[in-house]
Amino acid sequence: RYCLLAYAQVFQVFVTTVKRSAGFSVTDFRFLLELYPKKRFGEKIHRAKDMVRFLRTGRAYVATASVRLEERGFISRHSDEKDARGVLFKLEPAGFLCVQDTSEDIYTVLVAFYGDTCDSRVTLDVLKRLLVAEDAALEHLARQR
Protein backbone atom coordinates (compact mmCIF):
# COMPACT_ATOMS: atom_id res chain seq x y z
CA ARG A 1 0.00 0.00 0.00
CA TYR A 2 2.73 2.45 0.92
CA CYS A 3 4.53 1.93 -2.38
CA LEU A 4 1.32 2.68 -4.25
CA LEU A 5 0.71 5.77 -2.16
CA ALA A 6 4.27 7.00 -2.69
CA TYR A 7 4.03 6.31 -6.40
CA ALA A 8 0.69 8.12 -6.65
CA GLN A 9 2.12 11.17 -4.88
CA VAL A 10 5.25 11.30 -7.02
CA PHE A 11 3.25 10.71 -10.19
CA GLN A 12 0.83 13.52 -9.30
CA VAL A 13 3.76 15.88 -8.74
CA PHE A 14 5.21 14.80 -12.08
CA VAL A 15 1.95 15.25 -14.03
CA THR A 16 1.10 18.62 -12.50
CA THR A 17 4.61 20.03 -12.89
CA VAL A 18 4.97 18.87 -16.49
CA LYS A 19 1.65 20.51 -17.41
CA ARG A 20 2.46 23.79 -15.66
CA SER A 21 6.13 23.99 -16.52
CA ALA A 22 6.24 22.77 -20.11
CA GLY A 23 2.59 22.84 -21.14
CA PHE A 24 2.81 19.19 -22.20
CA SER A 25 0.90 16.06 -21.58
CA VAL A 26 2.84 13.40 -19.71
CA THR A 27 3.22 11.33 -22.87
CA ASP A 28 4.61 14.28 -24.85
CA PHE A 29 7.14 14.91 -22.10
CA ARG A 30 8.04 11.22 -22.01
CA PHE A 31 8.63 11.47 -25.78
CA LEU A 32 11.32 14.07 -25.06
CA LEU A 33 12.68 12.04 -22.13
CA GLU A 34 13.19 9.01 -24.37
CA LEU A 35 15.37 11.15 -26.63
CA TYR A 36 17.26 12.81 -23.76
CA PRO A 37 20.85 11.51 -23.69
CA LYS A 38 22.06 9.80 -20.53
CA LYS A 39 25.61 11.11 -21.03
CA ARG A 40 26.32 14.81 -20.89
CA PHE A 41 27.38 15.24 -24.52
CA GLY A 42 25.69 12.16 -25.93
CA GLU A 43 23.01 11.96 -28.53
CA LYS A 44 20.08 9.58 -28.80
CA ILE A 45 18.23 8.91 -31.99
CA HIS A 46 15.20 6.63 -32.01
CA ARG A 47 13.10 5.19 -34.77
CA ALA A 48 9.37 5.86 -34.82
CA LYS A 49 8.54 2.21 -34.17
CA ASP A 50 10.80 2.25 -31.10
CA MET A 51 8.98 5.31 -29.77
CA VAL A 52 5.67 3.47 -30.17
CA ARG A 53 7.06 0.66 -28.03
CA PHE A 54 8.67 2.96 -25.42
CA LEU A 55 5.59 5.13 -25.00
CA ARG A 56 3.10 2.27 -25.29
CA THR A 57 0.99 4.24 -27.74
CA GLY A 58 -0.15 3.80 -31.30
CA ARG A 59 1.69 4.85 -34.43
CA ALA A 60 -0.83 7.63 -35.03
CA TYR A 61 -0.01 9.22 -31.66
CA VAL A 62 3.73 9.13 -32.34
CA ALA A 63 3.16 10.67 -35.77
CA THR A 64 1.01 13.55 -34.50
CA ALA A 65 3.11 14.14 -31.37
CA SER A 66 6.30 14.24 -33.41
CA VAL A 67 4.83 16.86 -35.76
CA ARG A 68 3.65 18.92 -32.78
CA LEU A 69 7.03 18.70 -31.02
CA GLU A 70 8.91 19.44 -34.24
CA GLU A 71 6.80 22.56 -34.87
CA ARG A 72 7.77 23.82 -31.41
CA GLY A 73 11.46 23.15 -32.19
CA PHE A 74 11.95 20.44 -29.56
CA ILE A 75 12.77 17.55 -31.89
CA SER A 76 13.77 17.00 -35.48
CA ARG A 77 12.61 14.22 -37.77
CA HIS A 78 14.96 12.60 -40.27
CA SER A 79 14.64 9.89 -42.89
CA ASP A 80 16.11 6.53 -41.95
CA GLU A 81 18.80 5.65 -44.50
CA LYS A 82 18.45 1.94 -43.68
CA ASP A 83 14.68 1.88 -44.10
CA ALA A 84 13.00 4.12 -46.68
CA ARG A 85 9.72 4.02 -44.74
CA GLY A 86 11.35 4.74 -41.37
CA VAL A 87 11.60 8.02 -39.51
CA LEU A 88 14.26 8.91 -36.93
CA PHE A 89 13.76 11.40 -34.09
CA LYS A 90 16.45 13.52 -32.50
CA LEU A 91 16.21 15.94 -29.57
CA GLU A 92 17.07 19.53 -30.49
CA PRO A 93 18.69 22.05 -28.10
CA ALA A 94 15.30 23.58 -27.24
CA GLY A 95 13.99 20.12 -26.28
CA PHE A 96 17.11 19.45 -24.24
CA LEU A 97 16.61 22.68 -22.28
CA CYS A 98 12.90 21.97 -21.85
CA VAL A 99 13.65 18.57 -20.28
CA GLN A 100 16.28 20.09 -17.99
CA ASP A 101 14.09 23.00 -16.87
CA THR A 102 11.04 20.82 -16.28
CA SER A 103 13.14 18.25 -14.40
CA GLU A 104 14.48 21.00 -12.14
CA ASP A 105 10.91 22.16 -11.47
CA ILE A 106 9.86 18.59 -10.63
CA TYR A 107 12.83 18.25 -8.28
CA THR A 108 11.95 21.55 -6.58
CA VAL A 109 8.39 20.37 -5.90
CA LEU A 110 9.65 17.01 -4.60
CA VAL A 111 12.04 18.80 -2.24
CA ALA A 112 9.12 20.91 -1.00
CA PHE A 113 7.21 17.67 -0.27
CA TYR A 114 10.00 15.48 1.06
CA GLY A 115 12.71 17.89 2.20
CA ASP A 116 16.39 17.02 2.24
CA THR A 117 15.74 13.31 1.75
CA CYS A 118 15.43 13.98 -2.00
CA ASP A 119 19.19 14.43 -2.11
CA SER A 120 19.89 10.96 -0.82
CA ARG A 121 20.72 8.07 -3.12
CA VAL A 122 18.14 5.99 -1.26
CA THR A 123 15.32 8.28 -2.38
CA LEU A 124 16.54 8.25 -5.97
CA ASP A 125 16.80 4.46 -5.84
CA VAL A 126 13.23 4.19 -4.54
CA LEU A 127 11.94 6.47 -7.29
CA LYS A 128 13.76 4.38 -9.88
CA ARG A 129 12.27 1.19 -8.45
CA LEU A 130 8.80 2.74 -8.59
CA LEU A 131 9.26 3.54 -12.29
CA VAL A 132 10.58 0.05 -13.01
CA ALA A 133 7.59 -1.44 -11.18
CA GLU A 134 5.23 0.71 -13.25
CA ASP A 135 6.85 -0.51 -16.47
CA ALA A 136 6.59 -4.13 -15.33
CA ALA A 137 2.91 -3.70 -14.44
CA LEU A 138 2.14 -2.12 -17.82
CA GLU A 139 3.97 -4.91 -19.66
CA HIS A 140 2.05 -7.51 -17.65
CA LEU A 141 -1.26 -5.85 -18.56
CA ALA A 142 -0.27 -5.67 -22.23
CA ARG A 143 0.52 -9.41 -22.29
CA GLN A 144 -2.88 -10.24 -20.79
CA ARG A 145 -4.73 -8.50 -23.64
Q: What is the pLDDT of residues 86-119, one digit of tens each?
A: 889 999 999 999 988 988 888 888 788 777 666 6
Rounded Cα distance between 112 and 101, Å, is: 17
Rounded Cα distance between 9 and 12, Å, is: 5
Predicted structure pTM score = 0.75
SS3 for 75?
strand
Q: What is the pLDDT of residues 68-81, one digit of tens each?
A: 999 999 999 998 77
pLDDT of residue 56: 85
